[in-house]
Structure formats: structure tokens, C-alpha cells
């Protein structure tokens, strides 16, 4: 709460089934109140709890958002621990296993055992917990030091917060200008196992701006993580910038007028990037880069954001190696010409690609789930998202038919039919009409011709006149 006030938190309880007591929220008081609703149930089933956490995160955030999962237990693996042991031992040998680990999204699994270290059940369960962490790839197991007391449990959770939820404090440098900043959410270390080495890099306390690029040149590069950049005071406290008046160019959070009179390099950089439509290339660690840019969540408010790439120089394919970039005015011929009408990017690749269009690839389960979730998100915003809904629907349909995955169409039709029955009474009448048309078309269309698209149904409502 004190370190990550902008983060979303959810509370899930589990036994033989799982229940979401509180969906993702920033209201920490509501999380505390929801704890009082947790009752004892029939038995402990860790697999059900992990499945519930994975499903809830996928429904809310998809498979691309890094998450922290904290599993709180009494140190007993549950009545089904022998079955769980067999499942864990066979997890690598069964490619089609439904076991939730490793999670289909970047996640760190912390297992908190509220038990005496010498309890026999904990000694039996500890290898199972260790195996869960190993399957996930990243995480830890925490046990109270010494006897089980209120003090030892408090110290254990304080250590959890220190390890995983400490706020980031650093300094943003640009030439002779600098400013203390914090990043929300705090950046996590990059950990990947390659063929011959394990790479682990952390973000340095000092972030250096190397230069500036046109937003059009950078476009939308793949990012490892994204963070909100917030200024800090000299004491290390969060500076809340004053609210902007409607129609003004100064955007910020909410705060007092005295803080708004203090010069801020973050405000200067944000305003410059926004007005000039540029991004700032910065170095955050050894061979690790990112970009600073202005991002708007609506028309009246924008924020300074930092997107981190994966470590390395070849992280933006159409720009070549970042280490080769330099000031355009040092080149014998300005690649931008007299105006910004031309651009040296993207770089032309010498070898010709054997394909021309992007194709749908479902290598892992998470990719397919992400595509289905995208269709459902548009379906829940009908009729405003009618065109987007049918575009994604036809995209998945073509891929399923191309791969000979006809069962997916029936499954998707069943999901849309269920969404149609769950529409609230306040939903627009056209939403049910379009959903019914979509799932019936999935079942009745030619299952062999991928070139046939499912078109929106024309209705008498003004949105489709």
C-alpha cells in the first residue's frame, strides 16, 4: 500500500473451488474488508488456487502483463498432495497438461507459509512448493524465522514487501539537467535463460537520456515493460503536480499550488516531447535501453511514460543497432532533408523475406487465449465496437480454417452464445442481435472456404443505417 499505491490488487480464496472475493482494484481498504468474508472450506487444493489466479489475470489483463502472485498457505499441501506430486513429476513429460504452471504470462510466484519451521507437514510440503517455483521459473518460498509468532509473521511479510514490492527511486539525467524520479510499477529485473548463459539485468539507479527520435521513426516497438514516470522531491517524497485547467497544455496529477511552483525537469521533458512529437532514447542499464514519451489516457490528461525493451542493441528491428545511432546533423547529408517529410527509417533489409503478410501464430496456449479474449472484449462493447468485433472474429476464423482447427469455431460459437445470454438488461438491443448472428454464422458458414468473411448484420438501429 505504501510503496505501490498505483498498482491493482485482487483477492482470491480457494479450496476444492476458487472464488474471487475482490476483483482487481486500487481500493486497499476494500481488500482488507474482503478478508473478513473469507471462510473455512472443505479442503486445500493448490492446483485449483493457481488455476483461479491464472484465469482471473488472463480475463483482466491478458497474457502480456507481468504480475506478482502471492500464495498464502498454512504449510500444508492439502489432502490431494500425493496427486499433486504425481502431477508435478509428470508436468514436463505431458505436453498437453492443463496444469497452470508455468503461467501463460510473466509472473513471479511467492509462497508464504504461516507455520512453524519444524512442523512435519511443512517439511513434507516444502519439496512440492519448491517444485511449483521451479516450474514457474521465478519465485521464492518464505517461512517465519524461529517460532510462529505475530512478530515473526510480520517480519516475514515485511521481507516479502522489501523483495518484491519496494518502490524504485532513481535519477533521470539529460546533459546537465537531472531530476529524482520513481517508476510505477517498479521495474523488475530481466531474467532469461539462453542456450549457453543465463541473463539477469536490473535497472540502474541512474537513467541517462542519449538522444531524441521522431515518434514516427520509433513507431510502436515491442516492450518488455511499461512504467509511469513520477517526479520525487529532494526528500524522496512523491511530488503531485497541480491539476491542469481544461484546455491547457500542462498536465499532471493532483496536488497543492506550492508544489506546482517548483521547477521540474520531468515537466519540461514531458512538455517538450509532447509538443515536438518526439521520444527520448535512454539507457537504463548495461546494454539495456528504453524510450521516454508522452502518453495520453484521454484528451485532457497525459503522462510521461517509460517503455523498456529487452536488453540488447537489436531491439527495434527497423532501426538497426541502437549503438549506431547518432545526431543527424553530423552526417554529410541530412537524411530528413529540408523538412521532416522523409525519414531514414525503416532500414532496408538486404535479404528478402519468404513471406509478405503477418500470419496468426498459436505456438502456446496463451496466444490463442489472448485472441479469444480480444474478441470477447469487443463483444462486450457492442454495438460501438461492431467493426472491430467482426474484424477479429474473421481473423481467428481464417486462421482456424487454415490450420484445420474446425473445433475452435464451435467452441468460439458456444462462448459467444453464452455471452449473449449473460448480457445485462441495460445492454443495447443490437448487442444481442449481432452476437446471435455471429455465433450462428460460425456454425452455418462454409467450413472449408477461409476467404468468406462473416459480415455485420444490418439492423434498423441508427448505428447501422
Residue range 119-143, pLDDT digits in tens:
888 888 888 888 888 888 788 888 8
**What topology is assigned to 170-330 in CATH?**
Ku70; Chain: A; Domain 2 (2.40.290)
pLDDT at residue 447, as a whole number: 65
Q: Report pLDDT for 261.
A: 66
**Tens of pLDDT along 412-445?**
999 999 999 888 888 888 889 999 999 988 888 7
The C-alpha atoms of residue 49 and residue 52 are separated, in whole angstroms, by 5
- What digits encode the pLDDT tens for the residues 24-81? 888 888 888 888 777 777 777 788 888 888 888 888 888 777 788 898 888 877 655 5
Q: Which CATH architecture has domain 9-164?
A: 3-Layer(aba) Sandwich (3.40)
- For 327-386, the pLDDT digits (tens) are 877 777 777 766 555 677 777 766 666 655 567 778 777 788 888 999 999 998 888 889
Indicate if the alpha-carbon torsion angle 85, 88, 91, 92 is positive or negative. negative
pLDDT higher at 283 or 259: 283
pLDDT single digits (tens) 69-107? 898 888 877 655 555 665 565 554 444 456 777 888 888
pLDDT tens-digit readout, 179-228: 899 888 888 888 776 666 677 788 899 999 999 988 888 888 888 888 88
**Reported confidence tier of residue 289, pLDDT bands at 50, 70, 90:** very high
pLDDT at 426: 86
Which of the residue ranges 194-208, 234-248, 258-272 would you say has the lowest mean pLDDT? 234-248
> In the prediction, which pLDDT does 92 show?
46
pLDDT at position 293, please? 92
**191: phi then psi, degrees, rounded to nearest 5:** -130, 115
Start and end residues for every CATH 3.40.50.410 domain found in the chain: 9-164
Of 20, 65, 26, 49, the C-alpha closest to 366 is: 65
pLDDT for the residue 414: 92
DSSP-derived secondary structure for 218-287: H-S---SEEEEEEEB-TTSPBP-PPPPPTT-S-------HHHHTS--HHHHHHHHHHHHTEEEEEEEETT
The boundaries of every CATH 2.40.290 domain in the chain are 170-330
Reply yes or no on whether the pLDDT at 249 is more than 60.
no
Q: Does residue 283 register a pLDDT over 90? A: yes
Q: Which residue has the higher pLDDT, 292 or 247?
A: 292
Amino acid at each position: 500500500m505504501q510503496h505501490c499505491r498505483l498498482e491493482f490488487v485482487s483477492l482470491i480464496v480457494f479450496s476444492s473451488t476458487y472464488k474471487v472475493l475482490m476483483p482487481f482494484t486500487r481500493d486497499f481498504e476494500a481488500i482488507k474488508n474482503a478478508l473478513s468474508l473469507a471462510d473455512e472450506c472443505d479442503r486445500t487444493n493448490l492446483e485449483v488456487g493457481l488455476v483461479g489466479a491464472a484465469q482471473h489475470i488472463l480475463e483482466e489483463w491478458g497474457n502480456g502483463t507481468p504480475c506478482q502472485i502471492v500464495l498464502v498457505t498454512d504449510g500444508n499441501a492439502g489432502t490431494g498432495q500425493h496427486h499433486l506430486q504425481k502431477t508435478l513429476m509428470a508436468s514436463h513429460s505431458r505436453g498437453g497438461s492443463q496444469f497452470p504452471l508455468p503461467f501463460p504470462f510473466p509472473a513471479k510466484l511467492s509462497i508464504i507459509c504461516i507455520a512453524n519451521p519444524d512442523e512435519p507437514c511443512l517439511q513434507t510440503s516444502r519439496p512440492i512448493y519448491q517444485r511449483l517455483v521451479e516450474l514457474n521459473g521465478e519465485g521464492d518460498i518464505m517461512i517465519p524465522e524461529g517460532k510462529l509468532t505475530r512478530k515473526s509473521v510480520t517480519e516475514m511479510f515485511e521481507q516479502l514487501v522489501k523483495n518484491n514490492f519496494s518502490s524504485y527511486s532513481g535519477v533521470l539525467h539529460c546533459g546537465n539537467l537531472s531530476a529524482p524520479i520513481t517508476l510505477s510499477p517498479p521495474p523488475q529485473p530481466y531474467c532469461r535463460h539462453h542456450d549457453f548463459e543465463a541473463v539477469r539485468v536490473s535497472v540502474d539507479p541512474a537513467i541517462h537520456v542519449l538522444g531524441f527520435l521522431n515518434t514516427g521513426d520509433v513507431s510502436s516497438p515491442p516492450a518488455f515493460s511499461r512504467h509511469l514516470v513520477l517526479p520525487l522531491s529532494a526528500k524522496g517524497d512523491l511530488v503531485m503536480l497541480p491539476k491542469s485547467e481544461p484546455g491547457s497544455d500542462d498536465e499532471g496529477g493532483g496536488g497543492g499550488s506550492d508544489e506546482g511552483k517548483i521547477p521540474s525537469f520531468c515537466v519540461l521533458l514531458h512538455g517538450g516531447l509532447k509538443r515536438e512529437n518526439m521520444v527520448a532514447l535512454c539507457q537504463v542499464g548495461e546494454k539495456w535501453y528504453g524510450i521516454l514519451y508522452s502518453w495520453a489516457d484521454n484528451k485532457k490528461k497525459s503522462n510521461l511514460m517509460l517503455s523498456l525493451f529487452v536488453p540488447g542493441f537489436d531491439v527495434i528491428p527497423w532501426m538497426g543497432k541502437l549503438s549506431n545511432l547518432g545526431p543527424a546533423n553530423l552526417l554529410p547529408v541530412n537524411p530528413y532533408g529540408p523538412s521532416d517529410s522523409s525519414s531514414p527509417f525503416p532500414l532496408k533489409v538486404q535479404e528478402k523475406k519468404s513471406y509478405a503478410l503477418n500470419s496468426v501464430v498459436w505456438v502456446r496456449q496463451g496466444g490463442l487465449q489472448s485472441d479469444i479474449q480480444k474478441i470477447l472484449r469487443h463483444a462486450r462493447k457492442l454495438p460501438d465496437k461492431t467493426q472491430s468485433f467482426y474484424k477479429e472474429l474473421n481473423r481467428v476464423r481464417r486462421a482456424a480454417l487454415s490450420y484445420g482447427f474446425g473445433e475452435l469455431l464451435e467452441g468460439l460459437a458456444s462462448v459467444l452464445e453464452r455471452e449473449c445470454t449473460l448480457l445485462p438488461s441495460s445492454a443495447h438491443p443490437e448487442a444481442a442481435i449481432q452476437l446471435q448472428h455471429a455465433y450462428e454464422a460460425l456454425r452455418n458458414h462454409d467450413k472449408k472456404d477461409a476467404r468468406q468473411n462473416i459480415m455485420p448484420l444490418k439492423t434498423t438501429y441508427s448505428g447501422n443505417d
